[in-house]
């Protein structure tokens, strides 16, 4: 999995490319953890993610908890239909900031 990192208006934007599965969640989590150490605002651009397993959801929930505890924010943008369905089924669409 490739993860592109950029900066915009004080927010770190991570753009993963591929499937967020058990096999790729470790790399995704490492990128998210690194970003959490650098900024209080994290944006995940999911336009190139076509599959998200529970391991990917765990990373999202963990990031949300850490950012909320430190007064930061997490936003998901460009969420595709397949990933949105997973977020809706799990109820995370009501918990996460999806733009």
Encode burial over 27-49: b for 16+ CB neighbours within 10 A, e otherwise.
ebbebbeebbeebebbbbbbeeb
pLDDT cut 70: percent of the chain above it: 100
Structure confidence at residue 66 (pLDDT) = 95
Q: What is the pTM of this model?
A: 0.94
Region 79-96: what's the mean pLDDT? 96
Contact criterion met (CB below 8 Å) for 31 and 59: no
Q: What are phi and psi of 14, to 5 degrees?
A: -110, 130
> How far is residue 75's CA from residue 98's CA, in Å, rounded to a whole number?
6
Region 58-84: what's the mean pLDDT? 96
The domain made up of 2-98 has a fold known as Transcription Regulator spoIIAA (3.30.750)
Whether residue 1 has pLDDT greater than 90: no
Q: What is the mean pLDDT of the chain?
A: 96
Q: Where in the chain are the domains? A: 2-98
């Amino acid at each position: 999995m490739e993860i592109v990192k950029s900066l915009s208006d004080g927010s770190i934007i991570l753009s993963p490319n591929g499937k967020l599965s058990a096999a790729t969640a470790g790399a995704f989590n490492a990128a998210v953890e690194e970003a959490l150490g650098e900024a209080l605002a994290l944006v995940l651009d999911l336009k190139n993610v076509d599959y998200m397993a529970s391991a990917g959801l765990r990373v999202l929930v963990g990031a949300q908890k850490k950012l909320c505890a430190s007064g930061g924010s997490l936003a998901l943008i460009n969420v595709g239909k397949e990933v949105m369905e997973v977020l809706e089924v799990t109820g995370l669409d009501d918990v996460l900031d999806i733009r």
